[in-house]
Amino acid sequence: MATHYCGSGYEAEDVVHDALVRAAEFPRLDRTRMRQFLVAVVRRLCVDRFRRRSVARQLGEHPRLLPCAVEDPAELVSDRAEARWLLHRCGPMSSRERRILLSLASGRGHREIARELGITTRASESAASRARCRARRRVRHTG
């Protein structure tokens, strides 16, 4: 049972040892009910470990909690200049596109913007790409 909830055999062994220590330290343990006590303690320890591992995995995968990756400074400068140009020439856009372009114009990278907005890096890049396409169409029609 312990291996099913706890993962590896070594982890299960640790849980059983922990349960035995708890049994030895429990002052009012009825020795005739030792088996039931150990089963209950092992089950609870396994569930606790499973929950901790599950929460750690969820936190480790949450986009807003991932560490900032270092982006190429030249690309940040280029994105910033392009975003400023787009803001002046793009025309109407969604609030998310405007927020992405303003963030790019202030020098933030797509990864950081994506984390802040709770979207993927690709979604941030796509919004900027759509704005570029609209700006090009506007320049062709006006120029």
Shared domain check, 82 and 55: no
The residue ranking higher by pLDDT, 21 or 142, is 21
Shared domain check, 96 and 121: yes
Decide if 105 is inside a domain.
yes
Decide if 66 is inside a domain.
no
Q: How far apart are CA 23 and CA 52, in angstroms?
A: 23
Decide if 113 is inside a domain.
yes
Q: Is the Cβ–Cβ distance between 116 and 103 less than 8 Å?
A: yes
Chosen domain end from 61, 83, 100: 61
Domain span at residue 102?
Answer: 73-142
- End-to-end CA separation in angstroms for the chain: 74
Shared domain check, 50 and 13: yes
Number of domains composing the chain: 2
Decide if 68 is inside a domain.
no
Shared domain check, 77 and 57: no
Q: What is the pLDDT of residues 97-138, one digit of tens each?
A: 888 888 888 888 888 898 888 999 888 888 888 877 777 777
Q: What is the pLDDT of residues 24-41, one digit of tens each?
A: 888 888 889 999 999 999
DSSP for 91-132, written as a single string:
-S--HHHHHHHHHHHTT--HHHHHHHHTS-HHHHHHHHHHHH
Decide if 28 is inside a domain.
yes
Decide if 9 is inside a domain.
yes
